[in-house]
Structures are given as C-alpha cells and as structure tokens.
C-alpha cells in the first residue's frame, strides 16, 4: 500500500476556497496534513461560485487534518508575502506548496478568437502565472528549512493543445516551465518542483462550462471521464512520501498516469485515463544549464 500519511506535514494551497484547490486541500487533510487554505473569498457573495476559505478549512479539519483559513488576494504581492510570514511564525517551515490560484473571467470559455474577447482575460497571466512565481519566491526558504519539500503547479493539457485560447495555454505552459527551471535551483536542497496535468475535473467552473452542452460534448467530447476534486490530492500525498520524489523533480506529470503507478483510484473505483495520445505532451527539457 502506498504511504499517504502526512502527519506533521505543512501545506499551502493557493486558490483553495473551491474547485481543484479545495479538493487537493481536503484530500491532504484526510491524510493528516496541516493545510493553509487560501483565497479571496471570505464570505458568500465574494464570488459567483459557492465556497469560502473558512468553509474549506472547516472541511479540511473535518476530514482529519488541520485547516487554517487565510484570506489572500493573489494579485497583491504584499498579501502573498504576508501569508508566508504567517506560515513562518506559526509553523517555522513548509513542506508542500500547491500553486493553484487563478483569475478566470467567464468570457474565457466563450467561443471565438482572442481579439473578439475582452482584453481583461489577460489577468490570468497575473493571477495564475505571476502569482505562482511570487508565492514560490516567498515559500522557498520555508521549503528548504523543512528538509523535504515539493512545489506543485496545477496545469492541464492546455499547455500542449488549444483549450480556451492563447492566454489559457500560455499560463499553463508557463506553469510547466516554472517547475522545470525551479527544480534546478532547488535540487541541492531536497525540494522538488513539478507541474501536474489534470484532465477535466468536477469543479464549479467545469459544470458552468458544460451546462448548456449535450452530455459528453464538453471540451469537444475528449474528456470521457471527469476526475473528482480530491483525486489529485491523494496522488500528491503518495508522491510526497515516495522515496523517488527528487527523481521526479522538474517533470511535467499527468496525474492520471501517476495515479496508475501508485494504484490510486478515484471515487467509485474509477481509473481516470491519460489523454497523452489525444492532447499531446511537452518535450523533455534539455539538460544544459547556463548561469
């Protein structure tokens, strides 16, 4: 059985009041982790979607972990710095950082070329790519101090295939490159950096995107199996405890493939498939380093 025990492990999940981030947070809580649940939503109505950092933190605690809610706007560098200062005061170290915060305007899902949409969707590069770099910057000393750590950037097949247009693709490809290059800087400190490719996940935004489509036709009918929100978190728990963690550092990882390797299944004993053959996979980074 794969070891998924995260007792005494401290994690920060950015953008975890709902969606994939909340699912990962709750899953890590089920394995005993202390999880900082972070995001902008402090009360109902702060977002068109349900969920707050306080509700998500309560769910983490109810699952068996320790959920700590922190309201943080990831478009504000000062608030990100303050978040990690709090983690340092309260924990003194960090073991897992999941970069998941993003701003996704509803228009992103609209059909049509990028120039027919509002230019405001470029915010996805600010909260979603830039904010991941800032969070990693402030988290890095705490991860190094923790003695064993991992940074996980949430990404998708949009890094290699056209999904939602160029801004979305650039953000996902950027997450991949951040992980591969941060891995080089971290490699002497027993801290790994990876990018996680999810398939379609059963989030509030996914339900909105496919609400008016016939069954099975969301995302062009490609994703036949919808991953549960906690699926990636259970895989992460196993990867963190894997003795081969550092060997994975710098990699782009398809969550479904790693789950198969660990023998982890989703809700209902389902094995979500990899879509590598349909939607592609990035090239392997060249080992050359220029400093």
What are the catalytic residues? 168
Beta-carbon contacts of residue 251 (< 8 Å; ≥ 6 apart): 179, 180, 194, 195
Cβ-contact 178, 194 below 8 angstroms: no
How far, rounded to the nearest angstrom, does the alpha carbon of residue 61 sit from its chain's CA centroid?
20
Whole-angstrom distance, CA of residue 10 vs CA of residue 8:
7
Backbone dihedral region for residue 36 (phi beyond 0: left; psi -120 to 50: alpha; all else: beta):
beta
Taking every pair of Cα atoms in the chain, the longest distance, rounded to a whole number of angstroms, is: 52
- Helix ranges (H only) for 19-130 are 19-30, 53-63, 77-91
Structure tokens of 266? 């989703």
Cβ-contact 12, 221 below 8 angstroms: no
Buried b vs exposed e over 97-125: b needs ≥16 C-beta within 10 Å? bbbbbbbbeeebeeeeeeeebeeebbbbb
Whole-angstrom distance, CA of residue 111 vs CA of residue 19:
23
Structure tokens of 196? 């996680």
């Amino acid at each position: 059985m794969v070891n998924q025990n995260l007792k005494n492990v401290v994690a920060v999940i950015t953008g975890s009041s709902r969606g994939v981030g909340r699912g990962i947070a709750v899953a890590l809580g089920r394995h005993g982790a202390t999880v900082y649940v972070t995001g902008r939503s402090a009360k109902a109505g702060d977002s068109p979607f349900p969920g707050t950092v306080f509700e998500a933190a309560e769910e983490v605690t109810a699952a068996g972990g320790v959920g700590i809610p922190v309201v943080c706007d990831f478009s504000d560098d000062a608030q990100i710095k303050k978040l990690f200062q709090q983690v340092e005061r309260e924990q003194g170290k960090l073991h897992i950082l999941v970069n998941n915060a993003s701003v996704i305007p509803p228009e992103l899902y609209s059909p049509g070329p990028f120039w027919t949409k509002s230019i405001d969707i470029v915010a996805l590069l600010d909260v979603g790519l830039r904010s991941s770099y800032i969070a990693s910057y402030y988290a890095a000393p705490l991860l190094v101090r923790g003695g064993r750590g991992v940074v996980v950037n949430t990404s998708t097949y949009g890094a290699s295939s056209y999904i939602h247009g160029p801004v979305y693709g650039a953000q996902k490809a950027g997450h991949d490159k951040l992980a591969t290059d941060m891995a080089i800087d971290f490699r002497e400190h027993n801290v790994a950096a990876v990018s996680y490719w999810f398939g379609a996940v059963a989030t509030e935004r996914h339900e909105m995107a496919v609400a008016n489509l016939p069954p099975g036709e969301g995302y062009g009918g490609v994703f036949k199996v919808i991953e549960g929100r906690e699926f990636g978190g259970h895989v992460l728990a196993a990867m963190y405890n894997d003795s081969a963690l550092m060997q994975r550092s710098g990699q782009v990882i398809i969550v479904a493939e790693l789950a198969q390797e660990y023998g982890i299944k989703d809700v209902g004993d389902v094995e979500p498939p990899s879509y590598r053959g349909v939607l592609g996979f990035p090239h392997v980074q060249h080992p050359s380093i220029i400093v």
